[in-house]
Amino acid sequence: MTNWNCYYLAPSIEDALQALAKAKGPARLVAGGTDLLLELQQGRQAVVDTLVDVTQIPELNTLEVRAGRLFIGAAVPLHRLVDVSLVRQHAQALVEACGQVGGPQVRNVATLGGNVAHALPAADGSIALHALDAQAELAGINGRRRLPLTDLYLGPGRSILAESGELLVGFWLPLGQPGQASAFRRVMRPQGVALPVLNLAAWVQRDGDRLAGVRIAVGPAGPKPLRALQTEQTLLGQPLDEPTLAKANESLLGEARFRTSPQRATAEYRRHLAGVLLRQVLALAWERAGNEIPR
Amino acid sequence: MKFRVNGTAYKLDPLPGEMLADLLRSRLGLTGTKIGCNEAECGACTVLVDGLPVLSCSYPAARVEGKDVLTIEGLAAVPGIDARIEDLHPLQQAFVLHGAVQCGFCIPGQIMTAGALLQTNPDPSEAEIRHALKDTLCRCAGYPTILRSIQAAAYALRTGEPVPPPSVAVSGDAGAHATIGHLQPRPDAVAKVTGAAKFTDDLHFEGMLHACVKRAGVPHAFLRKLDVEKARALPGVAAVLTAAGLPGERNHGIVIPDWPVMVGVGERVRYVGDAVAIVAAEQREIALQALELIVAEYDLQPVVAGPVQARQADAPSLHAGGNLLKHIKVRKGDVAEGFAQADVVLEHTFYTAITDHAFLEPECSIARPVQDERGAGHQRMEVYVGSQIPYADRNQVARALGWSEERVRIIGQLMGGGFGGKEDIAGQIHAALLAQATGRPVKLLFDRHESLLVHPKRHSTQIRVKVGARKDGMLTAVETELYGDTGAYASLGEKVLTRATTHSSGPYEAPHARADCYAMYTNNPPAGAFRGFGVTQSAFAVESMMDMLAEKLGLDPVALRRMNALRVGSVTNTGQVLEESVGLLECIQRVEAEMYRRAGDQPFRAQVVPGQPHKRRAWGFAVAYKNTGLGGGAPDKAGAEVELYSDGSLEVRTSSAELGQGLVTILQMTVAEEFQVAPERVRVLVMDTDLTPDGGPTTASRQTYVTGNAARHAAQALRQAIASSLAEKYDCPPEQVRFIEGLAQVGDQRLPLGEVVELLKAEGRQPRALYEYWAPTTKPLGEGGKMHFAYGFAAQAAQVEVNTLTGEVRVLCLIAANDVGRALNPLGLQGQVEGGAMMGLGNALTEQFVVENGQVITDRLARYRIPSIELTPEIVSIVVEHPTSEGPYGAKGVGELVSIPTTPAITNAIYHAVGMRVDRLPVNQELLLSTL
Ligand SMILES: Cc1cc2nc3c(=O)[nH]c(=O)nc-3n(C[C@H](O)[C@H](O)[C@H](O)COP(=O)(O)OP(=O)(O)OC[C@H]3O[C@@H](n4cnc5c(N)ncnc54)[C@H](O)[C@@H]3O)c2cc1C
Ligand code: FES
Ligand code: FES
């Protein structure tokens, strides 16, 4: 009846992949365990033979600027993301998203890799990463590959990782440039589970009074985290004024599939909040981008 | 695996599935780390790993390889139960001195989380403390005091100065007393901040088995078949018991024995938490595995999902007498006449949700068979449990075992909160049955999931209120109709809903009043006692209605209340003339003054927040009253015994329960006051049915008054006995014997109290006195006259901020005035006020125990949300003291009163901010938004 038999602290990516492949029974990767271990404890996840812990692998704990991009190891605990100025400088939305996950006890162990691999459509970290145009680096028995984040997702709680037996090494984010900035906001309910009613992240590039670039991600707005590509198109090249925002709002409602979740929120409420958060987050990012040095 | 804990190196390999908390608690015996939820929600299990706080309940033990772990036991220079306050870490000192420790169950987690914060941030702002403690929950909810304690400790750590003392005012009467009315930290506070304090699950006995209960999981059914053979055959299983062959009574129940110990084949299951079999095994894992091997088959029955449905003629009947537990009636005058005299009549229906106590310590019982010391040849049963009514437990356990009561001893343990939720039987009987069957000690620990499913909740209600008033605001009639969902079993349902009914027209004098309440059985989890005891629900309804009436009449809501408020000489709706101690008008006036001081001259008008046009703020006002004591004709008595020892120390003994509310401090202070000794010289022993006299149930805010009086009288009796002895010896009148600073003084002779003991013993007398205190008699409902011997009164104002774009509501400030008779211990009172207000805030905004067609949806703490420090507003406490003549030093009950007006004060404020009348709890932000 124990939830696992063997707990393996993998020293390297290769060891982790080997351990996964060679386990005597079902095996799973674990990082902070703030999703997986609770599911095991509560019987929402069948017991496993082996847990392969990736948190000691040096590469997965790296956080640095590498090859002109910001690299965030999959096992970097969220508290480091929030505390490190490098992330604040290039990925403010991620800081805002991760800073709201749990309390310090959870953030000291929870990881971005776990947040993404858990594949919930409104995981806060994932939504921010989507707006920041992150790429995911995967390692498998057959080597490494890089994918746009959106390609990882199959549906709620389902990613390609389970099938492919790969692990997430980390995320590559473009470095912030002058005139660019990002932001993240969410709306919660005081009752029930601590999942957002709705969250939204945006990245903008300002050119004078126009939007020279924009990316928006929102959840839960379908089976996977949504990159609102049509909404981005409506905004591109426009000034951030109310007519543009109204159009963007309409686009967002067109492309997002907001659902009613019992005891949490109706689709109607989410449609309303989408407009509120869109305006609020874009305004915030816009204002930040106006400052010469991105923060 | 090598690691260090509190500086000690260990070499131990992790076990399969083992979490750090298991390793610390079970294998290293470090039980200071608590388990409140086992699901990463509450923070009670927080320890530091390499300096960072983590949740040890969900942190694999294997991960501490090579790491340094710090637990609460490692924080003080001198750990353990004997630690003196000077030896403690400043955080521990501050938590003790400031009164942040109540039940103490969350405290190790609070201190460890705060300690980690102070390491990286020596001077944190209030916002930073809130952010850091966001997920470290305290159900006693002294959050403001916790915050101040952390700031005080931070100051001491930064400056090297002593921890600054709290700034809580003493009682207005403190000058007349040496101890009473002054600030006194709890006697158990030091043990609670060092992790030395033991709660039931922290105990371990040689050869102890672990028990688990097979629950029905269906809300309404007949048990068709039950097969436990496979479970019995599982290696490591010591016993599997079912309803077949129970040695004693088949039902338990605190008032009505209608709750089956286990449901037998062919019998009716009435809620998902009903037990069908119990298992004891060598390990908990084995017991859990055995549960899965038990096959139970059911014939499902239609579910009675709510009280209104339960009263319909075609509803399935759940108990032999039908679904109506009780129709409760209040009659005063003739409401028809009253409504005829009214210029305005208003009517509205309100709904309140089921809520859960969510005390942080889940239920745990250990039963241990022992040989009778008196050698009678038969066994006795000891039951270690945190229970609010030890003598009722003794009675119910004995009956279920088929034994005489004397053969059962309840040894009450520290309780990690109760709030009314630990009055009924939880695991006591099951543990005892298994211990009886196996001859071994048996521990039955509920996990949070089981706790949420099984124990009685707060009644959900539907309350229709109809009021009539003249143009000037004077009430002419109040009529209410209540439906209360008492769930599957009676528990204290009848009493709770009686209180809801008698208080349903509010603390007002209406010439005509009528109330009808239908207490209904359903297939929901049982409902019973919960702080506020029904009045929480009816106060929400009537206080909302008073605001609606004020608006209709164009009157100020405070003025309307003042005009109709109960005062000395008023006649309540049950026909009681209030003779004294009615501080309601002063509560109203002082809260009003403080509110205007802060709000300017239009507190009830919505204000737009400057720079944030989508946010509106406003204030709301509400009042409440709550009886002290059982009342209604129930004999209300408590026994207490006081003994003097030859070292000059004293002990006071009573079975009354300490659940964190601070009774032990009150008893300690009372005896210290009577003997004029330092409180530290008085030990308090509670909750042991062999060693302490019956103090009665810890309910109805009665203990300070009833047991407090018992202790006071016992102390006085002992003092008199001593005085007469000394008077004889020194040949002087007994009045000339005085007690000063631990000495007995006769003329200019001074005797240390310890020597008096020898003197008494030499005379063949025992240096102790037992007193059974009987509270003033009361009359049953319906007979008029004195239904309760005292009432507490309260007024509160709440300031809220509503976000009109999202519907989100925040409470910014609560001003609370409570007429408590006398503040015996202002430090303890502060904690009760803050915690009570936070519970009321939770009742308004966060708490909703969701049951759908008898199935519990909120079956994890993650789904049942209690207020965190982040939701905590500024709480201003105003103490009003209108002493009651028979109360100890004038005191009356406070435990429940403090939380009652909070909810309607908040919902009334929401109305003033955005014009939405909340008539269903908790506030639904989405619904709120849709009405804007
Ligand atoms: C109290 C509490 C509050 C929370 N609040 C929030 C919140 O506000 N917002 C939010 O978004 N989340 C929240 N969470 C959820 C959780 O903390 C996050 O999703 C977290 O980021 C998951 O990371 P982890 O390292 O703990 O994942 P784990 O539980 O270790 O793993 C999750 C999944 O990812 C897989 N996985 C982990 N690492 C890798 C890897 N490197 N490669 C491949 N697969 C991997 C695991 O196999 C597993 O399937 C909360 C959790 C708790 C307990
Ligand atoms: S016991 Fe670990 S968080 Fe509650
Ligand atoms: S003192 Fe915090 S839960 Fe009781």
A180 touches chain B (CB under 8 A): no
CA distance A83 to A78: 9
Residue B547 lies in a domain: no
> Does the distance separating the beta carbons of B59 and A9 come in below 8 Å?
no
Tell me the residue range of the domain where B99 lies. Answer: 85-197
Give A109's contacts in chain B (Cβ within 8 Å): 54-55, 59
Q: Which CATH architecture fits A6-53?
A: 2-Layer Sandwich (3.30)
CATH number at residue B580: 3.30.365.10
Q: Count chain A–chain B contacts defined by CB atoms under 8 A.
A: 117
Cα–Cα separations (whole angstroms), residue B494 to B317, B498, B733: 18, 6, 53
pLDDT category at B378 given cuts 50, 70, 90 is confident
At B255, list the tokens.
């008032």
- For ligand 2, atom 3, which residue shows the shortest CA distance? B40
Judged against a pLDDT cut of 50, whether residue A292 lies above it is answered with no
Task: Check if the beta carbon of residue A253 is closer than 8 Å to that of residue A228.
Answer: no
Closest-approach residue (CA) in chain B for A41: B39
On whether any CB of chain B is under 8 Å from the CB of A41, the answer is yes
Q: What is the mean pLDDT of residues B192-209?
A: 97
Comparing alpha-carbon positions, the chain A residue that sits nearest to B59 is A33
The answer for residues whose C-beta is within 8 angstroms of residue A246's C-beta and 6 or more apart is none
Residue B804 in tokens: 């009109």
What average pLDDT is seen over chain B?
96
Second-level CATH architecture of A58-174: 2-Layer Sandwich (3.30)
What residues contact A208, with CB distance under 8 A and at least 6 apart?
A: none
Contact between residue B500 and residue B461 where contact means Cβ atoms under 8 Å apart: yes
Angle at alpha carbon of residue B727, lines to B726 and B730, rounded to 5°: 80
Nearest C-alpha of chain B: how many angstroms from A3?
5
pLDDT tier at A1, thresholds 50, 70, 90: low
Q: How far is the CA of B44 from the centre of ligand 3 (A)?
A: 9
Structural domains of chain B, count: 5
Whether B657 and B683 share a structural domain = yes
The torsion of the CA quartet B792, B420, B410, B258, rounded to 10 degrees, works out to: 120
Ligand nearest to the CA of A129: 1
Nearest ligand by distance to the CA of A37: 1
Residue B443 sits at φ, ψ, to 5 deg, of -105, 130
What's the gap in Å between B556 CA and the centre of ligand 3?
A: 38
Decide if B875 is inside a domain.
Answer: yes
Question: B903: closest CA among B849, B844, B848, B835?
Answer: B844
Query: Are residue B737 and residue B802 in the same domain, yes or no?
Result: no
- Cβ-based neighbours of B19, under 8 Å, separated by 6 or more: B56, B57, B58, B59, B60, B61
Q: How confident is the model at residue B86 (pLDDT cuts 50, 70, 90)?
A: confident
Distances (CA, A) of B220 to B270, B298, B427, B854: 5, 9, 22, 8
Burial class (CB in 10 A: 0-12, 13-18, 19+), B11: exposed
Q: How does pLDDT run across A16-37, given as a tens digit for each residue?
A: 999 999 999 999 999 999 999 9
**Secondary structure of A154-184 as H, E, C letters:** EECCEEHHHHHCCEEEEEEEECCCCCEEEEE
- Cα–chain-centroid distance for residue B250? 29
Q: Are residues B157 and B239 in the same domain?
A: no
| Closest chain A C-alpha to B461 CA, distance in angstroms | 19
Ligand 2 atom, smallest distance to B57 CA: 2
Same domain, B618 and B650: no
Rounded Cα distance between B469 and B338, Å, is: 8
pLDDT value for A295: 36
Would you tell me the crossing angle of helices B703-730 and B663-675 to the nearest 10 degrees? 20
State the Cα–Cα distance between residues B897 and B499, nearest whole angstrom: 13
Q: Which of B62, B845, B858 sits opposite A190 (nearest CB)?
A: B845
Over 90: is that where the pLDDT of B778 sits?
yes
Which one of A191, A192, A273 has the shortest CB-CB distance to B806? A273
Distances (CA, A) of B538 to A228, B500, B512, B670: 48, 6, 18, 34
Q: Closest ligand 3 atom, CA of B361? A: 3
Using CA atoms, how far apart are residues A151 and A161, in angstroms rounded to an integer?
11
Q: Under CATH, what is the fold of the domain A195-289?
A: Enolase-like; domain 1 (3.30.390)
In terms of Cα–Cα distance, which of B425, B429, B488, B502 is closest to B459?
B488
How many alpha carbons fall within 13 Å on the CB side of residue B280? 25
Ligand 1 atom closest to A166 (CA) = 43
Q: Is the CB of B454 under 6 A from ligand 2?
A: no
Instruction: Name beta bridge partners: B368.
Output: B382
ipTM: 0.97
Q: What is the pLDDT of residue B375?
A: 66
Burial category of B345 from C-beta neighbours within 10 Å (exposed 0-12, middle 13-18, buried 19 and up): middle
**Same domain membership, residue B789 and residue B649:** no
Q: Which of A38, A192, A265 is facing B58, going by the closest CB pair?
A: A38
Average pLDDT over residues A165-194: 95
Q: Specify whether B383 is located in the same domain as B283.
A: yes
Q: Is the pLDDT of residue B921 over 50?
A: yes
When pLDDT is averaged across residues B381-400 and rounded to a whole number, the result is 97
The rounded percent of chain B whose pLDDT value lies above 70 is: 99
pLDDT value at residue B257 = 97
Q: How far apart are CA A95 and CA A116, in angstroms?
A: 15
Contacts of A263 in chain B (CB under 8 A): 850, 857
Q: ∠ at Cα B493 (B490, B497), nearest 5°? A: 155
Model-level pTM greater than 0.90? yes
The phi and psi torsions of B319 (rounded to 5 degrees) equal -130, 160
Residues B681 and B760 in one domain: yes
A193 to B863: CB separation less than 8 angstroms, yes or no: yes
Q: Decide if A58-174 and A195-289 have a common fold.
A: no
B789 and B910 co-located in one domain: yes
pLDDT tens digits, B40-67: 999 999 999 999 999 999 999 999 999 9
Are residues B856 and B762 part of one domain?
no
Burial of B339: CB neighbours in 10 Å, binned 0-12, 13-18, 19+: middle
Q: Does residue B290 share a domain with residue B242? A: yes
DSSP letter string, B711-776: HHHHHHHHHHHHHHHHHHHHTS-GGGEEEETTEEEETTEEEEHHHHHHHHHHTT--SEEEEEEEPP
Asked if the structure places residue B519 within a domain, the reply is no
Name the residue among B928, B592, B576 with its Cα closest to residue B777.
B576
How far is the alpha carbon of A67 from chain B, nearest alpha carbon, in Å?
Answer: 32
- Is some CB atom of chain B closer than 8 A to the CB atom of A43? no
pLDDT band at A293 (very low <50, low <70, confident <90, very high): very low
Buried/exposed code over B312-325 (b: 16+ C-beta within 10 A; e: otherwise):
eeebeebbeeebeb
According to the model, what pLDDT value does residue B346 have? Answer: 98
Confidence of residue A294 (pLDDT cuts 50, 70, 90): very low
CB B557 within 8 A of CB B907: no
Contact check, Cβ <8 Å, A6/B806: no
Taking the C-alpha atoms of residue B20 and residue B18, their distance in angstroms, rounded to an integer, is 7
pLDDT tens profile A39-60 = 999 999 999 999 999 999 999 9
Same domain, B641 and B623: no
B764 and B823 share a domain? no
Q: Residue B124's domain is classified under what CATH number?
A: 1.10.150.120
pLDDT at residue B894 is higher than 60: yes
Contact state of A9 with B63 under an 8 Å Cβ cutoff: yes
Closest to B422 in 3D by CA, of B361, B366, B381:
B361
Domain residue ranges of chain A, discontinuous segments joined by +: 6-53, 58-174, 195-289
What percentage of chain A carries pLDDT values higher than 90? 94
Distances (CA, A) of B516 to B324, B339, B464: 13, 17, 10
The reply to whether B154 falls in a domain is: yes
Q: How far apart are CA A108 and CA B161, in angstroms?
A: 32
Rounded CA-CA distance B308/B298 in Å is 26
For the residues B408-434, what does the mean pLDDT come to? 97
Rounded CA gap, B511 and B507, in Å? 13
What is the pLDDT averaged over residues A279-294? 84
